[in-house]
Amino acid sequence: MSLLSRELPLRHKVMRNRIAMPPMANRAATEEGAAVPALINHYAARAGEKVALVILEHSFVHSSGRAHPAQLAIDNDELVDGLAALARAIKEQGALSAIQITHAGSKTTSEVTGQATAGPSAVPHPTTGNEPREFTAAQLTQLRDNFVQAALRAQKAGFDAVEIHGAHGYLLNQFLSPLTNRRTDGYGGSEEKRAKYPLEVVSAVREALNEHTVLMFRLGVDDLLPGGLTIEATSRFSVLLEEKGVDLIDISGGMGGYSIVDEKPGYFRTHGRAIKELVSVPVMVTGGVKTPELAEEILSSGDADIIGVGRELLKNPKWASEALRKLS
Ligand SMILES: Cc1cc2nc3c(=O)[nH]c(=O)nc-3n(C[C@H](O)[C@H](O)[C@H](O)COP(=O)(O)O)c2cc1C
């Protein structure tokens, strides 16, 4: 029996194998961010071919954090019915359903949001150059509540899991990173203080969710930019995530995005191993995996517990069922 085909418990739920579809934005939602039937078919098709965990694309918790037009939203109660249809379609196929909740912080523009752009500090975003205002402490409290309300909507819609986005240069990554967090209040100034706001969001969400809902965190393990976050700091942060009740750590890149150019497929596996040495919750590694053999080898070498397969699943909805058959 292959490792890829083995079940994995997640809180009170079970993944039927170790293959996950990581969040990938379709830019197909309505202007308000509502789900459309094409999205249901898109996710159900992958779930129906044995993917064990389907994580829906980044969905904004407040309109000031919309990253791009036609992005999925989870910022108001009217969206719950549409999201419930998505969760149901995935679960009917035997997969666990998750949704990624996010705020873009300074990695968006007023043109996209129609509002002032803000981030942890008034410094240009390192990859977009956008110049934000600094969030006030009162705004951050409000935003933390937006994350909580979004997570509760996901739970109400029937999702098995909620994933908080802390990667790819978005808001919570901006708080963790010394490149974008120059605050002088309790939320900046040292590694510990830079971690404070993301951890407050995690704790508030965990406390609000019921005991059956799985909480995941997508962690940008390395900013891939000079002076940015590296695995030393992010592995220490992973320990705190586990302490605050995160059930699964989903690894990706930080400011520099989700791929390491010129690196071999499976390029975040060494980061996965470093984090796995420090935490006992499952660790998911995504990035460049194309073949079932590589997925199996990453699992067997102990670098990850779950393999995320992104672009290959976009190309071939049957990737997971074919991989499991090939390894059996
Ligand atoms: C079209 C597209 C959209 C993406 N959207 C998201 C997203 O919404 N949230 C996220 O965390 N990652 C997003 N990603 C990154 C993927 O989750 C994944 O980490 C990346 O594609 C690398 O894995 P792969 O080599 O298996 O494709 C996106 C990637 C692609 C190709």
Q: Establish if 135 belongs to a structural domain.
A: yes
| 98's tokens | 């998750």
- Residue 248, pLDDT score: 98
Reduce the DSSP state of residue 203 to 3 states and report it.
helix
Q: Of all protein residues, whose CA lies closest to atom 23 belonging to ligand 1?
A: 287
Helices marked H in 209-245: 231-243
* Residues 229-243: tens digit of each pLDDT: 999 999 999 999 999
Map tokens 């660790």 to a residue. 283
Ligand 1 center to residue 24 CA distance, Å?
A: 5
Is 3 part of a structural domain of the chain?
no
Task: Name the phi and psi angles at 139, rounded to 5.
Answer: -65, -35
Quick check: is 224 in a domain? yes
- Distance between CA 197 and CA 118 in Å, rounded? 15
Can you give the residue range of the structural domain that contains 158?
8-327
The answer to whether residue 117 is domain-embedded is yes
Q: What is the pLDDT of residue 308?
A: 98
pLDDT at 263: 83
Mutate to test the pocket of ligand 1, among 60, 165, 258, 291 (most ligand atoms within 8 A of CB): 258
In a domain, 255, yes or no: yes
What residues contact 84, with CB distance under 8 A and at least 6 apart? 156, 157, 158
Residue 2 lies in a domain: no
Residue 194 lies in a domain: yes
Number of structural domains (the chain) is: 1
- Distance between CA 144 and CA 313 in Å, rounded? 33
Residue 1 domain flag: no
Nearest to 114 by CA among 60, 157, 168: 60
Statement: the pTM of the whole predicted model exceeds 0.95: yes
Q: Which residues of the chain have pLDDT under 70?
A: none
Judge contact between 154 and 209, C-beta under 8 A.
Answer: no
Helix (H, G, I), strand (E, B) or coil at 14: strand
Annotated active-site residue in 43, 170, 187, 258: 170
Question: How does DSSP classify residue 264?
Answer: P
CB 222 within 8 A of CB 254: yes
Cα separation, 19 vs 295, whole angstroms: 9
* 170: annotated active-site residue: yes
CATH number at residue 20: 3.20.20.70
Residues in the chain: 328
Of 322, 277, 276, nearest to 295 by C-alpha is 322
Closest ligand 1 atom to 311 CA: 27
